[in-house]
């Protein structure tokens, strides 16, 4: 599991930062990539990475402002020309269906794969045997959502050394034991599989939040998360400006992570006014509240280990 930032700027593209998009790489977990937001030129940013558009399984749009959305029609169209044939689902606020369908229809774009569009509300918006995704509405000038991605706990590892000590040789029986079944060996020995499996592996939690003021919904989404991705459009001294424009400061983001008991905070959606040393100061401000804070830049990647 890895976060790869494709665009970390706010509002408009800048020389050093493209507009919003972040990929959650789940190649080991499900052979897929999930995108969160798809600002203008996201597909161009992907060209500089190892991401394969045909592996993009889900795209989650936090809100319908252009810097989070305008790259979506182009990416959907290009995916057809890049061997993308598996289904893709776009999740987003009400209006996302009209936007996508109109853009594709007007441009005469034909997709070679099944496209599903889900207009979301608060609650569980995706759930399968490996992951669930919960959405909550944040505090922004238009409907804006945050997403909590929860990896479900995995079965504990098979205690192979203990089995080998009993003379149990590898084979199909190992799978039965790992499933916790009771098995009988050729010599009549009865083995309770539950005694030969380690404790479950705790699933990871990633919170990716859309544009927002400081709010309780953000804290709830970030609760005990391994990683929180939070906008930090403004420096701490611009608190009034951030509030007026429905955005967060560095210390707002850090306070969300602190109150949520999160393990790690990554700042993104940075205004172009902060370049060079000014950008480094943003990290220092957030770390004064929440020490384990990092600043995302375009193409930065962050692995998310277990435990």
Which residues are documented as binding site for Zn(2+)? 63, 65, 67-68, 140, 211, 269
Predicted local distance difference test score (pLDDT) of residue 131 = 98
Task: Encode pLDDT of 46-56 as tens digits.
Answer: 999 999 999 99
State which of 140, 169, 193 marks the end of a domain.
Answer: 193
For tokens 């079965």, what's the residue? 155
> Based on the domain organization, do 126 and 264 belong to the same domain?
yes
Asked, for residue 306, whether it belongs to a domain, the answer is no
> Based on the domain organization, do 143 and 163 belong to the same domain?
no
Kindly list the distances between the CA atom of residue 207 and the CA atoms of 15, 31, 118, 161, 199, in Å, as whole numbers in the listed order. 27, 20, 20, 37, 25
> Based on the domain organization, do 99 and 231 belong to the same domain?
yes
Is the pLDDT reported for residue 298 higher than 90?
yes
Asked, for residue 131, whether it belongs to a domain, the answer is yes
Mean pLDDT across 205-223: 98
Mean pLDDT across 232-245: 98
Which strand (E) or helix (H) includes residue 229? Answer: strand 227-231
> Based on the domain organization, do 221 and 184 belong to the same domain?
no
Is the pLDDT reported for residue 107 higher than 80?
yes
> Based on the domain organization, do 106 and 187 belong to the same domain?
no
**Other Cβ atoms within 10 Å of 20 Cβ, number:** 31
Is the pLDDT reported for residue 178 higher than 90?
no
Predicted local distance difference test score (pLDDT) of residue 156 = 86
Asked, for residue 145, whether it belongs to a domain, the answer is yes
Is the pLDDT reported for residue 204 higher than 90?
yes
In terms of pLDDT, which residue wins out, 248 or 188? 248
Is the pLDDT reported for residue 155 higher than 90?
no
> Based on the domain organization, do 114 and 222 belong to the same domain?
yes
State which of 170, 193, 216 marks the end of a domain.
Answer: 193
For tokens 């182009």, what's the residue? 74
In terms of pLDDT, which residue wins out, 178 or 274? 274
> Based on the domain organization, do 222 and 295 belong to the same domain?
yes
Range of the domain at 171: 158-193
Predicted local distance difference test score (pLDDT) of residue 1 = 97
Per the residue annotation, which of 67, 226, 252, 298 is the catalytic one?
A: 67
Asked, for residue 45, whether it belongs to a domain, the answer is yes
In terms of pLDDT, which residue wins out, 188 or 33? 33
> Based on the domain organization, do 146 and 210 belong to the same domain?
yes
Predicted local distance difference test score (pLDDT) of residue 18 = 98
**Other Cβ atoms within 10 Å of 302 Cβ, number:** 16
> Based on the domain organization, do 56 and 127 belong to the same domain?
yes
> Based on the domain organization, do 120 and 165 belong to the same domain?
no
Q: Alpha-carbon distance 21 to 38, whole Å?
A: 5
Q: Say how many domains are in the chain.
A: 2
In terms of pLDDT, which residue wins out, 25 or 179? 25
Phi-psi category of 224—alpha, beta or left, where left has phi over 0 and alpha has psi -120 to 50? left
Predicted local distance difference test score (pLDDT) of residue 83 = 86
Find the CATH number of the domain harbouring 118: 3.60.15.10
Mean pLDDT across 69-83: 96
Predicted local distance difference test score (pLDDT) of residue 144 = 98
| Pairing between β-strand 123-127 and β-strand 115-119 as defined by DSSP bridges | unpaired
What three-state secondary structure class fits 47?
A: coil
Is the pLDDT reported for residue 281 higher than 90?
yes
Asked, for residue 115, whether it belongs to a domain, the answer is yes
> Based on the domain organization, do 14 and 107 belong to the same domain?
yes
Q: Is 67 a catalytic residue?
A: yes
Mean pLDDT across 18-36: 97
Q: Alpha-carbon distance 240 to 246, whole Å?
A: 10
Asked, for residue 229, whether it belongs to a domain, the answer is yes
Mean pLDDT across 287-307: 96
Kindly list the distances between the CA atom of residue 240 and the CA atoms of 96, 248, 287, in Å, as whole numbers in the listed order. 31, 10, 21
| Relative orientation angle of helices 72-81 and 96-106, to the nearest 10 degrees | 50
> Based on the domain organization, do 41 and 189 belong to the same domain?
no
Asked, for residue 246, whether it belongs to a domain, the answer is yes
Predicted local distance difference test score (pLDDT) of residue 288 = 98
Task: Encode pLDDT of 114-150 as tens digits.
Answer: 999 999 999 999 999 999 999 999 999 999 999 999 9
83 Cβ contact partners less than 8 Å away, ≥ 6 residues apart: 54
Asked, for residue 307, whether it belongs to a domain, the answer is no
State which of 137, 170, 193 marks the end of a domain.
Answer: 193
């Amino acid at each position: 599991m890895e976060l790869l930032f494709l665009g970390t700027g706010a509002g408009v593209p800048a020389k050093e930062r493209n507009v919003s998009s972040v990929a959650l790489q789940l190649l080991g977990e499900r052979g897929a990539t999930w995108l969160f937001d798809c600002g203008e030129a996201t597909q161009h940013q992907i060209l500089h990475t190892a991401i394969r558009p045909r592996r993009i399984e889900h795209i989650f749009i936090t809100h319908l402002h252009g810097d989070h959305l305008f790259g979506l029609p182009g990416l959907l169209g290009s995916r057809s020309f890049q061997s993308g044939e598996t289904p893709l689902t776009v999740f987003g606020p009400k209006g996302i269906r009209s936007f996508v369908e109109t853009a594709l229809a007007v441009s005469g774009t034909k997709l070679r794969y099944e496209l599903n569009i889900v207009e979301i509300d608060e609650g569980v918006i995706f759930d399968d045997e490996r992951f669930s995704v919960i959405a909550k509405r944040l505090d922004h000038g238009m409907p804006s959502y945050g997403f909590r991605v929860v990896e479900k706990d995995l079965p504990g590892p098979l205690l192979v050394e203990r089995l080998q000590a009993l003379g149990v040789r590898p084979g199909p029986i190992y799978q039965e034991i790992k499933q916790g079944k009771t098995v009988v060996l050729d010599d009549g020995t009865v083995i309770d599989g539950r005694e030969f499996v380690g404790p479950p592996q705790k699933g990871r939690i990633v919170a990716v939040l859309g544009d927002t003021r400081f709010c309780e919904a953000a804290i709830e989404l970030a609760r005990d998360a391994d990683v929180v991705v939070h906008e930090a459009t403004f420096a701490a001294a611009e608190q009034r400006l951030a509030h007026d424009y429905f955005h967060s400061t560095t210390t707002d983001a850090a306070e969300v992570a602190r109150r949520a008991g999160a393990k790690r905070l990554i700042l993104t959606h940075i205004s172009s006014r902060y370049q060079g040393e000014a950008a480094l100061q943003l990290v220092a401000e957030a770390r004064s509240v929440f020490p384990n804070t990092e600043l995302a830049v375009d193409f930065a990647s962050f692995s998310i280990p277990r435990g």
